[in-house]
Amino acid sequence: MIQRLLPHPLLTPILALIWMLLANEFSAGHALLGLLLGWAIPIFTLRFWPEQTRIRRPLTLLRFIAVVLYDILIANLAVAKLIVSRPRRLQPAFLEVPLDVRSDLAISLLANTISLTPGTVSAELSPERDRLLVHALHATDTEALVATIKTRYEAPLKEVFEE
Amino acid sequence: MLEYVLAFLIIAGGAFTFIGSLGLARLRDFYSRLHGPTKATTLGVGCVLIASAVYFSQGDQPSLHEILITLFLFITAPVSAHLLAKAALHLKLTSVARRPESENLE
């Protein structure tokens, strides 16, 4: 019953918060309206969200977000420097990252994180969903880069969404 | 004092957005050019949005809907880059990097 009425308990507060940010007003009225929308939207869009998402370790998730934000800053500076200084001498490379994560959400989050951070763009997911093809703007040591992606981004995502 | 910080943020934002666009002209192949819009531009827009949030929060109400723009940008920019890269691989565009073995890229 509670499953039917509240299929995605996490989505409700998130949607309410997004509503208040959209309205740009933090009042009780908008909070109520936001909660109402946050309750109704998941029910009407249930077909698009077949699997339950559960966050196992909220603290790991927060730390992951902090790490990613910091890395976005660093990656931006690094890419800007590469573009300005010596675009002719870049060594772009394709790398294949073997995936340990299995769920849709974890894979998409990982792919998005890779695109936002260290000079890499995720290009293709293999049909068996076990490898991710990544294009790196400047990679002299591809194995080290793959190892960094796996330990820095994939491991925490696996902990939060799958373990 | 605050005005200097805001001015700095806006100028930095403009500079990063410009560098991101400059990448489109200076980088050698399509795949490398994808890096400009996903990275340098994100920080550029981020700087401008922080400046906007701070400036419009000076009244009685905080202005935080800029956070949403950042969030949506972080969700959409990598997705469009991913689709562009996927299309490029499918069309077998020339690449400076050695292309991956292509049996699984259909």
Query: In this structure, is residue A130 part of a structural domain?
Result: yes
Residue A70 and residue A116 in one domain: yes
Nearest by CB to B42, from A72, A124, A133: name it: A72
The per-residue pLDDT for A4 is 64
- Containing domain of residue A34, as a range? 2-48
Residue A71 and residue A132 in one domain: yes
Query: In this structure, is residue A138 part of a structural domain?
Result: yes
The per-residue pLDDT for B40 is 67
ipTM above 0.90, yes or no: no
Nearest by CB to A111, from B34, B36, B78: name it: B78
Supply the pTM of this predicted model: 0.77
The ranges assigned to domains in chain B are 2-90
On chain B, the residues whose CB falls within 8 A of the CB of A87 are 23, 26-28, 32
* Cβ–Cβ below 8 Å for A22 and B89: no
* Cβ–Cβ below 8 Å for B78 and A76: no
Residue A102 and residue A67 in one domain: yes
Query: In this structure, is residue A91 part of a structural domain?
Result: yes
Residue A84 and residue A149 in one domain: yes
Nearest by CB to B27, from A72, A87, A96: name it: A87
The per-residue pLDDT for B11 is 92
Q: A17-26: per-residue pLDDT in tens?
A: 888 888 777 7
Q: Alpha carbon of A68 to those of A133, A138, B13, B57: distances in Å?
A: 20, 19, 20, 26
* Cβ–Cβ below 8 Å for A123 and B28: no
Q: A81-103: per-residue pLDDT in tens?
A: 877 787 677 777 777 777 777 77
Q: B56-74: per-residue pLDDT in tens?
A: 888 777 777 888 888 888 8
Residue A76 and residue A130 in one domain: yes
Tokens of B70: 């950042």
Q: Does B12 touch chain A (CB under 8 A)?
A: no
Residue A127 and residue A86 in one domain: yes
Low-confidence ranges of chain A (pLDDT < 50): none
Residue A28 and residue A62 in one domain: no
Q: Does B92 touch chain A (CB under 8 A)?
A: no
Residue A141 and residue A107 in one domain: yes
Tokens of A149: 């992606």
The per-residue pLDDT for B100 is 66
Count up the domains in chain A and report the number.
2
More confident residue, B97 or B35: B35
DSSP H or E stretch at residue B80: helix B65-90
Phi first, then psi: give them for residue A134, nearest 5 degrees.
-125, 135
Residue A38 and residue A63 in one domain: no
Query: In this structure, is residue A97 part of a structural domain?
Result: yes
Contacts of A146 (CB under 8 A, 6+ apart): A95, A96, A97
Phi first, then psi: give them for residue A121, nearest 5 degrees.
-130, 130
d(CA B97, CA A24): 46
Q: Does B21 touch chain A (CB under 8 A)?
A: no
Query: In this structure, is residue A53 part of a structural domain?
Result: no
Nearest by CB to A24, from B38, B64, B99: name it: B64
